Chains A and B, each alone.
Chain A
C-alpha cells in the first residue's frame, strides 16, 4: 500500500487525535445545557440506560473519521491482475542483419521461435498481431484472438532482407492497436535502425499513450556473418536498450510535470504490464539468445511428419533441431531397465553418441543400471523436447561398448569428472559426503601430473534399437505418431493414432 499524501494523512491523524482528546475532555465535563437531574446515581440505577449505544456510536464515528482521514491520505494498493483482454503486436525485425547466424540457426529464425513461444503461452483472449519490418513495416497478421491463425502467420514472415525501420514498425503498431484497453508492443530486433522514423520519437509517443514496449534484443555481442555476403552483422545493444527504456525516458523527461500526472502515468504503466507480457519476455528469454549461452531451436513443429525409412537419421535430425549435442536438455534421455527382480527402474542419462549401431551412453558398470543391465540387457529409452512438442521412444538390447571407445570417451571428459569416476562407487552407500571428498582428494593426489586412466568399472553402453516411436505434438491433440519396428535389416513403419 502506498500513500499518496503522507503529509495530509499525518495532519489528519494529528487532527483526529486532538479532536478525540478534546471530545473526551468536553464529554466528561457537564455543561448547563445538559438536562439536570437531582441524583445521577439514582437515575442510573433506576433507568439503567444503555450506555454502550452512544459509546458504540462514538466509536463508529471515530472509525468513520479515521477512514475519511485515511482516504484523504490517498492510499492505493497496486494489484497485478492478469489481463486477458489485452492487445499485443509483435514486431519482428526482418532486416538483412537478421540473417546472421550468431544465434542458432539465424537471428530471424530465433525471433520466430521466440514469437511462437510467446503466442502459445499467451492466455486465450489476448489479441495478437504480427508486424514484420525491414526497410518498411507491414502487417503480417492483424490483431486476432485466434492464436493458431497467428502462429501459422509466422511462417509468412518474409526472409531477412533490407534495412531496419524500427520507428515505422512501432508507428504502424500504434495505428493498428485499438484506442483503449491493455496494449502492448513486443519488439524483437537486433536494433540496427537505419531508415524510417526515429524510433525514440515513436517511443515517446507510445509513452504518451501508455503503451509499453518490450524490446527483445537478438544477437551476440560479437556479431555474426550474414550468409552469402561478407558483411558482418552486429547488434546495436545501445539502441535496443534505448527503445526498451523509452517509457522510463519519458517519465524522466516529465519530471518537470506536476507530481500527480506523473504518478498517474506511473501507476498506469505498471498496471499495463500484464502477465502475458512478462511471460513473453520470459519465453523470449528462454528461446531467443540474451547472453545466457543457450542455443535457439530451429524449425519448430513445421509440416507433417514425412515417412522416412531411417529412424536413426530422423532421431539425429530431431536432436539437432532440439539444440544439438551441446545442449543438455536436447540429449537428456530417460533410461528404463529391469533387473532380475522384474521391477523396472528409470533414470536420466545423457545421450553421448548416436550412430548406425545405436545410442551410446556412459556410466559406471557397478551402478544400479549397470547391475540391472548385466542381469537383463533389455532397456527402453525416452527423449522428450517439450518446447518442440516432440518425443522419441526407443527400445532395444544393451551391450557394453568396446573398451577402446570407452577409453576414447573417458579421455575427452574434464579431469574432475574423470577423478569423480574413480572416487565414486556409483550407487553404493556412503557414510558422508566428506568421505567422498576425501577419496576425490586421494585420487587427485594419486594421479597428480599424469593422465587419469579409465577405471575398469566405468565405460560405455550401446543401446541397439529394435523399436522407435516418434511423437510430434499437434494442435487439438491431433498428434502424429510414427512407429518403427525392426524386421531383419529393415524397419517396419506404422503410423499410429494419437
Chain B
C-alpha cells in the first residue's frame, strides 16, 4: 500500500476519471487484474471472448480503474523551520515532500505552491529530483499560500501542507474548512524539537530563527511551563485541522518520509 493508494482509498476520493494511472479500484482502465464469471450489468465490452469460448461460460476481464491524481504541496521553508535538535526540520520536510511527489505516477500532476506562484513540479517517476524545487527566496507567507492554493488548485486535488504553523492566524479556520471541503488535504505539523524536554537550564540566551533574542533564567518552573505550552499548542493545532476535515500528521525531525507515511496510517 502506497501513499497513492491511501489517497485513492480515502473517503475523500477525488471524482476524477479518465485515462491515467491504474488505481486500486476496479473499473474502467487498462491494467488487467483477473477474469471472472460475467455478472449481469458488466460492460459487455469487457467480456473476454477467448476465455468464454474456452470455458463455455461468459467471462469478464476485470481491469483497474485509471485515475490521474493532482498532487499539490505547500512547503514552509521559512527560517523557523531551520531549527532542530540534530538537523533542521526543513530537511525532514523535504524528505516528506520527496515521498509525496514520489508517490505520483506517470499521469499524475505535481504542483508546488509557494506564495503567489504555482510551479508545476517536473516529475520523473521514482525520482526524488522531483522535489528539488526552488524555494521562493522571499518570505514565506503561509496564509497567502493557502489562499492561493484554494483559488488555483482543481477540485479534488490532494494537498499536502508542511509547516510549523506558527503563522496560522486564528481567523483562518474558515479557509481551512473550505480547503478541507474542496481538496483532499493533509497537514504535517512540525513537532517542536524540544517537545520531549527543554534541554536548557540557568541563564540562557536564545536567538529567534526569524529575529529577536531572549535572555532569561530557565529553571524547573520554566521548563514545566514550556512543555505544557508546547503540548497545548500541538493539540490545539491538531484539533483545528481535524475540525476543518484535514488529514493530520506530525513531522518528526528524524525522518520526514516516515512522518508522511504515518499521517496516512502507513508503515514506511
Name the prevailing secondary structure of the B interface residues.
mixed
From the candidates B200, B212, B223, B233, name the one contacting A41 in the complex (CB within 8 A). B212
Chain A residues near B203: list those with CB within 8 A: 53-54, 57
Most chain B beta carbons < 10 A, residue from A27, A29, A46, A49 = A49
Give CA–CA (A54, B206) in the complex, Å.
13
Q: Fill in one digit per residue for A9-52: 1 if any B CB lies within 8 Å of its CB, else 0.
A: 00000000000000000011111101111111111111111110
CB closest residue in chain B, given A49: B216
- A52 CB to nearest chain B CB (Å): 8
* Count of residues in A whose CB is under 8 Å from the partner chain: 27
Task: Given A42-B233, A53-B217, A54-B215, answer yes or no on A37-B208 (Cβ-Cβ < 8 Å).
Answer: yes
Q: Which of A32, A35, A54 contacts B216 (CB 8 A)?
A: A54
Return chain B residues, CB-CB under 8 Å to A28.
Answer: 213
By the criterion CB–CB under 8 Å, are B215 and A40 in contact? no
Distance in angstroms between the alpha carbons of A27 and B206 in the assembled complex: 11
* CB atoms of A44 and B214 under 8 A apart: yes
Task: Give the docked Cα–Cα distance between A124 and B203 (Å).
Answer: 59
CA distance A57 to B215 in the complex (A): 12
Select which of B82, B208, B218, B222 is within 8 A of A40 by beta carbon. Answer: B208
Question: What residues on A are CB-neighbors of B198 within 8 Å?
Answer: 47
**A46 and B230 contacting across the interface, CB-CB below 8 Å:** yes
Q: Which residue of A lies closest to B194 (CB)?
A: A37
In the bound complex, CA of A54 to CA of B218 (Å): 10
Near A by CB (< 8 A), chain B positions 157-200 give: 164, 166, 192, 198, 200
Report if B265 contacts A (CB, 8 A): no
Most chain B C-beta atoms within 10 Å of own C-beta, residue among A29, A30, A38, A53: A38
Task: Scan residues 208-242 of chain B and give those whose CB is less than 8 A from a CB of chain A.
Answer: 208-219, 222-223, 225-226, 228-230, 233
Q: With A31-B207, A54-B203 as given contacts, are A38 and B225 in contact (CB-CB < 8 Å)?
A: no
**What CA separation (Å) do A50 and B216 show in the bound complex?**
5
Q: How far, in Å, is B140 (CB) from chain A's closest CB? A: 13
Indicate whether B143 reaches chain A with its CB closer than 8 angstroms: no
Is A50 touching B217 in the complex (CB atoms < 8 A)?
A: yes
A45-B229, A46-B225, A46-B230 known; A36-B206 Cβ under 8 A: yes
Q: Do A42 and B222 contact each other (CB < 8 Å), given the known contacts A34-B206, A35-B205, A37-B207?
A: no
Q: In the assembled complex, which residues on chain B have CB atoms less than 8 Å from the CB atom of A45?
A: 229
Q: A53–B216 contact, CB under 8 A?
A: yes
Residue in contact with A54 in the complex, picked from B80, B217, B230, CB distance below 8 Å = B217
Against B, the Cβ 8 Å flags (1 = close, 0 = not) of A43-77 are 11111111101100100000000000000000000
Instruction: Please give me the residue from chain B that is nearest to A45 by CB atom.
Output: B229
Bound together, the chains give a CA A34 to CA B228 distance in angstroms of 24
Residues 14-41 of B, flagged 1 when their CB comes within 8 A of A and 0 if not, give 0000000000000000000000000000
B83 at the interface (CB under 8 A from A): yes
B258 an interface residue at 8 Å Cβ cutoff? Answer: no
Q: A46-B229, A57-B203 are in contact. Are A40 and B81 (CB under 8 A)?
A: no
Contact sample, A vs B, 28 pairs, CB 8 Å cutoff: A27-B213, A30-B207, A30-B212, A35-B205, A35-B207, A36-B206, A37-B206, A37-B207, A37-B214, A38-B80, A38-B164, A38-B166, A38-B208, A38-B210, A39-B208, A41-B212, A42-B166, A46-B229, A46-B230, A46-B233, A47-B225, A47-B226, A48-B222, A49-B217, A50-B216, A51-B214, A54-B203, A54-B215
Q: Interface on B for A, CB 8 Å cutoff?
A: 80-83, 89, 164, 166, 192, 198, 200, 203-219, 222-223, 225-226, 228-230, 233
Since A28-B213, A30-B212, A43-B206 are in contact, a sample of 6 more A-B pairs with Cβ atoms closer than 8 Å, ordered by chain A residue number, is A34-B205, A37-B214, A40-B208, A49-B222, A50-B217, A51-B216
